[in-house]
Amino acid sequence: MAPSRTRGIGDTHQQFRSLQVIVNHIKSQELFLQMLDREDSIPDMAKRLAREAVSGELRSNKRLFLDFLYNLIAMSGESDRIQDIEFKYVIIGQDLLEVDRCLLWYDDLDLPVPFEIGEKFGRAVLGDQFSDVVNTITDFYKTAEARFDRELDGNLERCSLLVLQEHYPQDAYHITVRLPAIILNDFPLSL
């Protein structure tokens, strides 16, 4: 008996909703840790114990997010849902690179990837090449675009590259790359 196509669509939607819940929980834990650091009325020992407990759970939740993300991407072949990944890089001068934001797109819904994970994915794209970052990102995009041109039968609506150069107050580049999320399978991460 062939698997039901409707079941696959429901499963990817449920996976995405689970990712949203995990991301919201991660954000609340990170906010709690920030507030804990600012609170002076809590004794140091209590702060340390709370920090250790929440930090351990936070690491576990980030691993869970990564597992759910890879599962969602693996199930993308069974669904007609669009799943893309978008990186926003900021390059200041010659030596400062930051992955400003990483978003997972599911149809028209966007989900911010936790910063630590998004930064690792964004830097994995560059490999060890940190000298000519703008050209490295552009070359990576061109290679990925050629790949998805073949895999998506010439439909490149899901691939985009935007490079903006800023001259004032200092030289900087703002680069946005969007590709099908399946590209993340090429960069396996672990936390």
Task: Give the model confidence (pLDDT) of 130-170 as tens digits.
Answer: 678 888 889 999 999 999 988 887 778 889 999 999 988 88
Mean pLDDT of the chain: 86
CA end-to-end span of the chain: 38
Predicted confidence (pLDDT) at residue 24 exceeds the cutoff of 90: yes
Q: What is the CA radius of gyration of the chain?
A: 19
Confidence of residue 10 (pLDDT cuts 50, 70, 90): low
pLDDT tops 60 at residue 9:
no
Q: For tokens 């992955």, what's the residue?
A: 99
* pLDDT surpassing 90 at residue 23: yes
Structure tokens that stand for 93 in this block = 């001068």
What's the pLDDT score for residue 78?
66
Residue 59 is predicted with a pLDDT of 95
**pLDDT tens per residue, range 84-134:** 999 999 988 776 788 889 999 998 999 999 999 999 988 887 776 667 888
pLDDT at 3: 42
Q: What is the rounded CA–CA span in Å between residue 30 and residue 86?
A: 22
Residue 130: predicted pLDDT: 65
- Whether pTM exceeds 0.95: no
What pLDDT band is residue 171 in, cutting at 50, 70 and 90?
A: confident
pLDDT at 4 over 50: no
CA distance 103 to 106: 10
For the cut 90, the answer to whether the pLDDT of residue 178 exceeds it is: yes
